[in-house]
Structure 1
């Protein structure tokens, strides 16, 4: 199968748009051109490219600026248009998904399209489908076919829960839900194939570029793809300490899952990466060892054996028994004693590092919890035991090796770079973004931070086709009130991005409490 409109895709101009200091957005005119461009870039990918994220009209290119400059990346993208050979998908293996065509919307969808149920099912099975991109949820693929000629409207009112394995239609796409989520697609059937298994070496079944055929399931509706065996991490390891109270939210975090956005997987990881590294260094761990990200304070736990611990990030009163913890120093936590971290006075997130590192299931290459996507272990609850890994790289240092200042309660200045959709906004919006004093709203979590301030006026109505997103992207919905995406944010989105918070400023943003003020500065 040749990608539709191949010649047109090859002849179209690629528009390369800025996306902060470590990404570019390559835009073309049609989805077939996206497939063409993504395949060309994937085939010639240089060192330093962290992620390639195809979407409806764009390919997001994330880079490591230490290994590849933006200028070099821009040249590589534009030359991919003429240097690569035409892309064919005939050689890709075909994944067959067995489907029981029993969806609640099947009959109504067929009627709305003016065809019989049998005709709609036959067309769905006869088409040769290709995964154009993933998004919305880990492993959720958007499939297209040049043999599919229906445009299916989404539901007027999305369902609050779509069951895992549901096969749906929306627009000119088809797809299958890997796990239970809300959704507005019209459901025509069910598959028992395992679409996403975070414990597998290759967690996503339907990756961009995969060819797919849908076939009618037999009477038993057995899964076509058996679930890969789970990869348990050190089973039956005794708990090193037990959670007595988790506070507002306490999760396992390491450096996260960079490079998996094309599979619909957010980077996750510690929001204040510097604080995580400091806490780990203080107890002799590797800097990216997993620790507990304590949000807001109110955390209590009891040691089941003697442990060395350190706390970095947000500041407040912390005690082991009657002994106050020294800030930024390793502390012995004796067996049977209670560690108490009270409500934070400065900042909002602290990192509790334990010598050896916190253990937990490794999902898609990381122990980090992504509660929204269901990756990693769930947020801690009272009574949970915490085991240790083996991420020690050296002794506990005898001196304070990491001077660190407490998070500020003053106005936080955030560096910002140009975003890809600046032309969607009036000149007054760009001025207001950098001149206004913004307030952190109560709607702030690991997914993103909503700001309160002046309305950023658009010059273009409507929404964008979905395109790749990164942590730090400043999205502006129709309300005009911007939201800054964080590590658990969506990997694709349809709100225009006016600017991008610089990577160096994200740690400071991670410590911003609701009600605090922030100001944007150009490129700091």
Structure 2
């Protein structure tokens, strides 16, 4: 094993490659079982395990702790085997047969004749990369990805097989379909395919397996806020759901965590990560059904209560029947409306955050909806105003450390004034105004874990800084990692602003 820092809050452990990925599976399981200090998520991938830690974790001590682990053989893992029935009539079955030199029947026989193993999760909740199948089925991805792949499609790519848990774009070679339920939040655990599980495909039918067990969740809470207007986007956000990356679920949470924590401290919530409303570029209007105390943090959106201006980074009283309204902020992207007691949207996997990439969490807020607020905490607010700076409207500098693939980029990442492009959302921010080139012969790489702040270099040469709703794994080089404390600043950068990345 070779362990190297991945930014300032993660450790990337590279494992010697083996044919079926058992070493990675075993190490990831050992890391989870050891409850390593500071580690919040374990992200297995093709040849690596990424340990995502809390800021300030001693990465040197973490490296020593990982080196001392004694991973158990994969066969000893307590994970149920899964049988998936498949109808082999996929649109790429003939192409796979031609590429492998097999007949279509022989492709089916090869796919069903050898057990597969769940190695790691991927781009969607419930999607699993399966290894260890028949080596003759190693085929490349399609040259052109499909814009829509139906849920239940069974595919091949590289040495992997997989089943699409929901309709999504995709470039795998599709050889069949199944009615298996790969992901369902009403099932425990929600993922049918978990790392280490043996998977066998059975030809000739497409029965439903992993049928969910619905659980009724009546909402008996009294609404405290009525949503009248939302602006471009308004979401419930807390500090996210760490611990599910192996199942394809990222942490998500507030894009600007510092702003969320500050707002909750101002209103004296017991939990600095209590859920709040994240508002993109203002436009929110809410009606209070009872007396509330709120604080506005992040982007300084002009705010009024029944037309009366109120302050930012300050305590604001909103009485029953009054309307709180936010205008567009002069700088920054996201404003946080933190309420004393915290927003009580329905939690999903322990979090009230909306993950815009995976679709997990409460739905985006819409006019006509209502929100509940938790009981007031015992502690009272200690300050009326927090004198902290607002997001700048001009150039922004972000501190970076070398990424695991820093040596694969050719160009001046740190010597260029980049511009935040219009391709900016909660998933990531693409930088324009320059290009980096890959080292000769480098294209995509074996999938590796990703973190918030990872700077990835896709084929076009324009770097992407991943933000709160980033993918769990990715196959392009990560050439740098933004300092964890600066990722919150990155989440407030508007399209068109200048950005400098400094070592």
Q: If the length of structure 1 is used for normalisation, what is the TM-score?
A: 0.88
Q: CA deviation at 1:79?
A: 4.9
Aligned: 1:342 with 2:342: no
Q: Determine the structure 2 residue equivalent to 1:424.
A: 408
Measure the CA separation in 2 of the matches of 1:263 and 1:194: 14
Which residue matches 2:44? 54
Matching of residue 154 in structure 1 with residue 141 in structure 2: yes
Aligned match of 1:366 in 327, 351, 357? 351
1:221-260 superposed Cα distances (whole Å, 9 cap, x missing partner): 442212132463x515343222222111111100001222
Which of 136, 150, 160 is the matching residue for 1:173? Answer: 160
| Cα distance in structure 1, aligned partners of 2:275 and 2:187 | 20
Indicate whether 1:508 and 2:495 are aligned.
no
Contact 2:79-2:194 within 8 A present in 1 as well: no
CA distance in 2, matches of 1:480, 1:437: 15
2: CA distance between counterparts of 1:231 and 1:155? 42
Query: Residues of 1 paired with 2:20 and 2:117: CA distance?
Result: 13
Q: Is 2:454–2:481's contact at 8 Å kept on the other side of the alignment?
A: yes
Render the CA deviation track for 1:261-288: whole Å, top value 9, x for unaligned. Answer: 2221111100111111122223332211
In structure 1, what is the Cα distance between the partners aligned to 2:347 and 2:432? 37
Which residue is 2:389 aligned to? 405
Per the TM alignment, residue 31 of structure 1 is displaced from its structure 2 partner at its CA by 4.8
Indicate the residue corresponding to 1:463 in structure 2: 444
Q: Judge conservation of contact 1:319–1:325 (CA < 8 Å) in 2.
A: yes
**Aligned counterpart, 2:336:** 351
Separation of aligned partners in 2, 1:457 and 1:346: 32
Distance of 1:38 and 1:96 partners within structure 2: 20
Q: Quick one: structure 1 residues 176 and 37, their matched pair in 2 at CA, closer, same or farther if it must change by over 3 Å?
A: closer
Determine the structure 2 residue equivalent to 1:215.
202
Maintained 8 Å contact 2:224/2:290: yes
Residue-by-residue CA offset, 1:309-368 (whole Å, 9 max, x unaligned): 221111031001122122222322233332210000121111011232222232222110
Residues 393 and 512 of structure 1: CA distance in aligned 2, closer, same or farther (over 3 Å) = same
Contact 2:245-2:472 within 8 A present in 1 as well: yes
Q: For 1:261, which of 241, 245, 252 is the aligned residue?
A: 245
User: Which residue is equivalent to 1:251?
Assistant: 235
Give me the whole-angstrom Cα distance separating, in 2, the residues matched to 1:457 and 1:175.
Answer: 31
Q: Which moved more, 1:33-42 or 1:308-317?
A: 33-42
Q: Measured at CA, do residues 303 and 41 of structure 1 come closer, stay the same or move farther in structure 2, by a change above 3 Å?
A: closer
2:64 match: 75
> Which residue of 257, 261, 266 corresponds with 1:282?
266
User: Does 2:362 correspond to 1:377?
Assistant: yes
Aligned match of 1:495 in 473, 476, 481?
Answer: 476
Structure 1: stretches of 5+ with no match in the other structure: 1-13
Equivalent residues of 1:41, 1:77 under 8 A apart: no
2:181 aligned residue (194, 215, 221): 194
Segments of 4+ in structure 1 off by > 6 A?
Answer: none
Q: What SS class does the counterpart of residue 440 from structure 1 fall into?
A: strand
CA contact (8 A) 1:304 1:335 kept: yes
Q: CA offset at residue 201 of structure 1?
A: 4.2
| Change beyond 3 A, Cα 1:41–1:189 | closer
Q: Does the 8 Å contact 1:199/1:364 carry over to 2?
A: no
State the partner residue of 2:460. 479
8 Å contact kept, 1:40–1:87: no
Deviations 1:133-182 (Å, cap 9, x if unpaired)?
Answer: 11111111010125442123333332211122222222221111111111
Which residue pairs with 2:299 in the alignment?
Answer: 314
Q: Does 1:206 align with 2:193?
A: yes
Kindly report which structure 2 residues correspond to 1:113-152, keeping only aligned pairs within 5 A, or say none: 113-152=100-139
- 2:500 paired residue number: 519
Matches of 2:240 and 2:215, distance apart in 1: 20
Equivalenced residues, count: 498
Return the offset for 1:101: 2.9
Task: Quickly say closer, same or farther: Cα 1:162–1:236, change in 2 above 3 A.
Answer: farther
CA distance in 2, matches of 1:396, 1:199: 38
Partners of 1:86 and 1:282 in 2: how far apart? 50
Q: 2:415 pairs with 410, 426, 435, which one?
A: 435
TM-score scaled to structure 2, two decimals? 0.92
